[in-house]
Structure 1
Amino acid sequence: MRRKDDEKEQRIKRSVITLMLKEGFNGTSIAKIAKMAGVSPATVYIYYENKEDMLQDIYLQYSDEVFDYLLAGIRCDMDGAQLIETLIRRYYSYMKDHPEAFCFVEQFANCPSMASKCSCSRGMQSIFQWIEQKNSRPIHRRYSDKSVSAILFYPVKALAADHSSSEEEKAQLLEELIEMIQRAILA
């Protein structure tokens, strides 16, 4: 049996993300992935059983990366307003710093046929469980985690995806969003 090579695996993952964003799920074949990664198609199968398995593995890796990135900025002594601001700023920062990985995660998460088969991601809802375990002052009490997650993260995604605003305008809009979301959740 052939050995796995971390560098080859990373090239395969980068190729998958690039092709998925450029050509979509149906346009991305193992042959195209292998060619872009500079490996043989047989090499891809050393790492992944099939295309679906590969996409799920990469999705889990990057969605967990987003989760870890968000949690890295949280401290146990933060109040609700600080937690909300930190989550929003870090989420926006991640999207700007890792646009391809973020777009891949979003594309995968918004594809019902793929996401429904991949329920093992820690996901955004786990953020609230982690906060409640570590912090005696949770963000909210009255609302479901899904509702809070939607209010926290969807407006930030819309702002990051806005290609018609300048960076200065986006910075002002981010400040405005933080204030609006804090008022909505903490009121």
Structure 2
Amino acid sequence: RLLQSWKEVTFPLEKLQKDKYLSYQLGIIPRENKIPLQEELEKQKEICYLDIIREEEGIAYFMLIFFKEYYLKIDSILQKLKVAKVQLKASPKEELKDIADKTNQTMERLNEIEKELEKISQEKTKLMSIYDHLQHLLKERKVSIRSRFTPYTFSVGGWIKKTDVDRLKEGLKSLPALEIVTRVPYKKE
């Protein structure tokens, strides 16, 4: 927000920074001190130039250009009138553009991260489903193993041709609580 108040400064500040003889100071001063500042600097008009850039909400924004050799004299006037000094490396428009560019880059990176998070979230959901399925299978296996050791159950193992499985199931269909589990033999069986 502070830079917005300075965006009307179109002068390339970096040129003044490199100047051999001139310097500048951006500043903020309460509006009631604006007139005393102008009066003090009017007395020094051979060595400085004051430009009031903007006035808003009881504050005056200014740019002061002066000869470097008179820095201490100008600085004492600014301190006496309680000027808040502002330092900008480039023109405010350039700084605002840089900030906007950095903001856009940050937003793009944020969007990329959100997409990655969405993918990770989808993978997490899949992994949770697989985990639940495997837990269910593990519980069934534990139940199956425990049920073999009760006096009311028994297990019969053996080999049967794949073509005869349907006939076996049909033949044992009349027995109520019967479960037939088949599997393909392992390579070494």
> What TM-score do the two structures reach when normalised by structure 1?
0.19
Greater share of strand residues, 1 or 2? 2
> What TM-score do the two structures reach when normalised by structure 2?
0.19
Greater share of helix residues, 1 or 2? 1
